[in-house]
Structure 1
């Protein structure tokens, strides 16, 4: 059994080897794609994250701590075209400062002198006009000075623009930077230069922050860097600087990888968080924050013209961070976000600040990527394990359930914890592997079915082939122990027959004989094991179960005997027409049942579907005994015991070569030239003889044998002659040692 088990395992191992290679190759390719992170994958990931935000955007706060003063179309209509004089900016600053704003933040650049300032207007006049007016305005403060004075009196934050054009000046940062852990500079979005405001304005401001964005490839703003690198300096974003000024802080604390309490295991993973006073801002390694956007509400803004004309409630401003920026579409400060195709840039800054102040963050954890690839691998491995064991429908259902689970978990993570978990990559991997494995297994099944058709179409009936093709798992390749009924068939005196025939005639004879005999076996559900010259070996109950295998084998044997009668008539007529002598062809058939090892047996390069074992050897010896007994058919005891309703005639008790225990051998009465009406009388007389013979009653046995021989049954002539000879042995033997067993091993 151990050898059969090893053989079966080897066969199954070869069968699954290519599938395992397919799974491993898919996992390798999947991991490579994930590592390369192609733009198409990122785009799909962003589409999903954007859809989450559109489905469940951030709630609009009832009382936002951040107010937008918008330079809207109404303000432009009342105050005139943009840009407005710096005196208007000064008046905005004074009004908001007087109303108690915590910080006044300009999302506007003031990098050039105010052209409406008197000293600037002189440059437009002719020399004579300039000379008459110049002395009148010489003592007037410039608009920029007035604006600078307003800035100095209030907590104002101005903007700066970072760019790739190198500049020699150092970024005019207003706060100190404290770093815990690795140097964050290599991980920050880097620029070579910046454009600031007029120096007096920058000097007067309490904070300077970058107004730059970092849109993704599709130009949608999803993440906002809160820190940048300008040459060797670290520059805060406009929103971060507004927060610092509003909180009255002087320093930023940047925590990077390998800081105390930040798990990086020695790897340089970038920025973890930025701290401003009591506010801890989690960031990605590049110091950017994901924004969970809310819907734009134009009614929440305060129009700039109302502030300029004093037509606003100071309570709207008190203790709030006030952002001043363009909201009029014509000023072109619009940005695409996940929830809005065109949102004013100043409102994006507003939402960043709202998120930080509320402590409500949308985050993509450092371990998110690891979880995504592990989820993909787990999904693929689960499908890889299940696919060969499930039907196509069940496999598709499992794949669909996996994908739905991944998407559900991703949505729950977003809604419950504000975590961005990408369901796209694991889902695509599960879908592609499911489709690929289905095709692979379908193709393998088709090849297996084709192999089954090719291997069995010549040896078993079409109905059996059809069942094997439909259920290939019923075929145990590599060898299994099954209860079989075996049949061996051989032509008597084939050597003598072949000597009388030429090569072509012999080939024709073999084909004419074996074809109808094979058809009879196959029609009765048998499997042809092999042809051995003029001999056939066949068996029943493999590869498919057949509860009636013993009966079918016996029916096939009787059918072969009847078919030979017709063949002899045909060959006799042909010989007579050719003027040649004809000797009738005779068959010897052995049938036996018992356990055998059956399957694809042989080497890896060549194997046959065959049966081996002790019962195969016994059947072969039973077929060989037909020569000694002159019978067309001998059936083993195990087969006869299973078919008590068939008319068996016990022939003898024989000890065959290789076995110590004797076996009873039988023939079927329909195989004899005896009328059916005589079967019962013949069987009664024959059984009485065997009883007398085996009991050692020689006189009675001889009397009964003579009566049987006188019946003149051609097929039993040699049987009774053999018993007559053995009765002589009985006369010489002592009764106490007589057992009536025929020692077939001693026979020639």
Structure 2
């Protein structure tokens, strides 16, 4: 690790630490962003509306138009209770405050008239008494509001049981409540608070406290109390987190268990507002028979009574962005409990998100510092996609809420900062090296220099290499007909087109020597199957040269074509930086290089364009190869067995090549034994070769003059074993062309 990289890692980790601490402090802006993300999840996949035994009896615009402005006299509310009870409502919950005397009560109206006989007042009806008598003995739940004044508390109708210590400090705290009319409070079957977002400044209702506390007593929500009364339950059972005081994990009401936050809040999983949830009060109070569909909705249902008219100012915004009556959210709380579709944010979610920022951020710092920008970006995008996928899957399949934004935003900031530092500081030296050497060295060597300390030192290592030499045939004759500028143009076209195949097959271009190319594989980095890739590069060169000749890319005319010879050999060589301290070249030296050069020269004698040594052929046997004989190479005391490269693996698998190879093997045996059938076999091989993608006419014509190459080769095969399977088939009686 260079000093610049060390500084980059330190700077990146400092940024990650700052972002982690920022998330741990959880400022309001982050909380708002997290809540908006959860809202988007619900908008994409809201809870599906189902027709349940929960409905809203709404005091809507049509009802106000029919029966007059709000508030209505309470004898009308009594009429509602009587009718709802008679129609089989399992619970009747009023999302309406009854804290003041009914100003429309006849007794109240007459009392304000001067000179009225007190005995007359006693005989006049009182609407509050009528309403109180109507709710007595019926499953009616009244709502109460919170107040910051006084110390009034409603009388709880239900008991509370706890699995541990009473969690009086867990729910939101209240100072007081708006007192209900005493008779109404006494006769109600249940009392519940109607506050949806106490102390929350947000206009969007996302969570609802199912319980409130004054430090000594718990107070249930209106929806919770309605569900209790509907079941005839008398007690709430609260479960707390083990070893964590003042927390709530679940609330059991009768047959239903509700998972809640530590503060006893329920995450609302809302549905799009649906008309099937509502019943107009006008239908219930109108003279005549009640519609059959309305009666069916009421029978056995929990009925919430509340206002939906816009002028009555009880409109709330849901996570879906819809404005709905507040009473409908009370109904949705019960719907959610009955359906079992809950959302929850585990207590350990914050810790997991903080840890993910620290781990993912640190990982991105190291990736950005030590890997290429493209790979680091791909990894960053993968982490982003993983965070989104994990968060979305948790929401869809488990109803769990995990923040996808904090890890993604923190990771993006970290990646941007680390990338900027790398570009400005770490990569500056690499850019200078690439600018200086980019025109001369292969990409793999550039990568090694960029990522290895002291890569530009002198010295070499012994490695197994596959070396290639490429040479233009009759270059002297070609250059005699061209001007120097035309020679340069020809070489540039030739060398550029053919050298691309070296780079494309992970080779290293060593040097251009006039009209020749020297390249090698498996250095400076390891290359798998380097003999096969060298052969593939040679086949690509053959194909490219044929195209250049066909297109007259050299400008010599179609009647004059350019030929090449390619030699390939695999063996041990010394490779490294060689030269002086101030001027050196990355190259390979050794006997392997010399043998390769001699094999390339032998292409002229064999009359074929691509020859490879036996060591290369042994590891590229899936290509179409024909033995070319054991050649005496200049400077070598023993002969070198060579093979002609006919084509790729598709050619090797063809029936045509299979037939030719069989004849060729028989011909080699005949040459070794000087059998009189050589001429017949040569003729058969020439016929078979005509259907292959290369011209073998001169190759076979020259073989008859090189019998000594094959006699030595045959003897060597007896010692070392054949490269092909033994037992060659007999020559066919006829050899038709195809």
TM-score w.r.t. length of structure 1: 0.59
Q: In 1, are the aligned partners of 2:4 and 2:426 still within 8 Å (CA)?
A: no
Offset at 1:438?
A: 1.4
Q: In 1, are the aligned partners of 2:430 and 2:450 still within 8 Å (CA)?
A: no
Q: Distance in 2 between matches of 1:50 and 1:461?
A: 52
Task: Give the aligned partner of residue 173 of structure 1.
Answer: 156
Task: Give the aligned partner of residue 219 of structure 1.
Answer: 203
Q: How has the CA–CA distance of structure 1 residues 470 and 234 changed in structure 2, closer, same or farther, with 3 Å as cutoff?
A: same
Task: Give the aligned partner of residue 479 of structure 2.
Answer: none
Q: How has the CA–CA distance of structure 1 residues 384 and 85 changed in structure 2, closer, same or farther, with 3 Å as cutoff?
A: same
Offset at 1:298?
A: 2.9
SS state at 2:454 partner = coil
Task: Give the aligned partner of residue 293 of structure 1.
Answer: 270
Q: Distance in 1 between matches of 2:194 and 2:591?
A: 99
2:26 to 34, 37, 49: 37
1:325 to 294, 306, 331: 306
**1:140-184 alpha-carbon deviations (Å, 9 max, x no partner):** 34110110011113111000111332x233331111111223442
SS state at 1:177 partner = strand
Q: In 2, are the aligned partners of 1:103 and 1:320 still within 8 Å (CA)?
A: yes
**1:302-352 alpha-carbon deviations (Å, 9 max, x no partner):** 111221235244322111111000011111101111124311000000000
Task: Give the aligned partner of residue 186 of structure 2.
Answer: 203
Q: Distance in 1 between matches of 2:128 and 2:400?
A: 46
Q: How has the CA–CA distance of structure 1 residues 16 and 182 changed in structure 2, closer, same or farther, with 3 Å as cutoff?
A: farther
Offset at 1:475?
A: 5.4
Q: In 2, are the aligned partners of 1:194 and 1:230 still within 8 Å (CA)?
A: no
Task: Give the aligned partner of residue 608 of structure 2.
Answer: none
Task: Give the aligned partner of residue 303 of structure 1.
Answer: 280
Alignment of 1:277 with 2:254, yes or no, is yes
Q: In 1, are the aligned partners of 2:142 and 2:188 still within 8 Å (CA)?
A: yes
Offset at 1:449?
A: 4.1
Alignment of 1:252 with 2:236, yes or no, is yes
1:383 to 329, 350, 364: 364
Task: Give the aligned partner of residue 83 of structure 2.
Answer: 95
Q: Distance in 1 between matches of 2:86 and 2:100?
A: 27
Alignment of 1:374 with 2:355, yes or no, is yes
CA RMSD of aligned residues (A): 3.8
Between Structure 1 and Structure 2, which shows a larger proportion of helix residues? 1
Task: Give the aligned partner of residue 453 of structure 2.
Answer: 476
Q: How has the CA–CA distance of structure 1 residues 596 and 78 changed in structure 2, closer, same or farther, with 3 Å as cutoff?
A: closer
Alignment of 1:400 with 2:389, yes or no, is no
Q: How has the CA–CA distance of structure 1 residues 365 and 467 changed in structure 2, closer, same or farther, with 3 Å as cutoff?
A: closer
Unaligned stretches of 5+ residues in structure 2: 462-507, 515-572, 584-588, 596-738
Unaligned stretches of 5+ residues in structure 1: 1-11, 259-265, 485-544, 552-593, 600-608, 612-637, 645-748
Q: Distance in 2 between matches of 1:99 and 1:466?
A: 85
Aligned residues: 485
Offset at 1:452?
A: 5.9
Q: Distance in 1 between matches of 2:191 and 2:418?
A: 58
Task: Give the aligned partner of residue 117 of structure 1.
Answer: 105
Alignment of 1:146 with 2:123, yes or no, is no
Q: Distance in 2 between matches of 1:451 and 1:75?
A: 81
Question: How does 1:513-532 map onto structure 2 within 5 Å?
Answer: none
Offset at 1:399?
A: 1.7
SS state at 2:360 partner = helix
SS state at 1:323 partner = strand
Task: Give the aligned partner of residue 731 of structure 1.
Answer: none
| Larger of the two Rg values belongs to structure | 1
TM-score w.r.t. length of structure 2: 0.60
Question: How does 1:80-91 map onto structure 2 within 5 Å?
Answer: 80-91=68-79
Question: How does 1:465-614 map onto structure 2 within 5 Å?
Answer: 473=450, 476-477=453-454, 482-483=459-460
Q: How has the CA–CA distance of structure 1 residues 182 and 31 changed in structure 2, closer, same or farther, with 3 Å as cutoff?
A: farther
Q: How has the CA–CA distance of structure 1 residues 642 and 342 changed in structure 2, closer, same or farther, with 3 Å as cutoff?
A: closer
**1:50-83 alpha-carbon deviations (Å, 9 max, x no partner):** 111111111110x212111000011101111100
Q: In 2, are the aligned partners of 1:295 and 1:339 still within 8 Å (CA)?
A: yes
Task: Give the aligned partner of residue 415 of structure 1.
Answer: 396
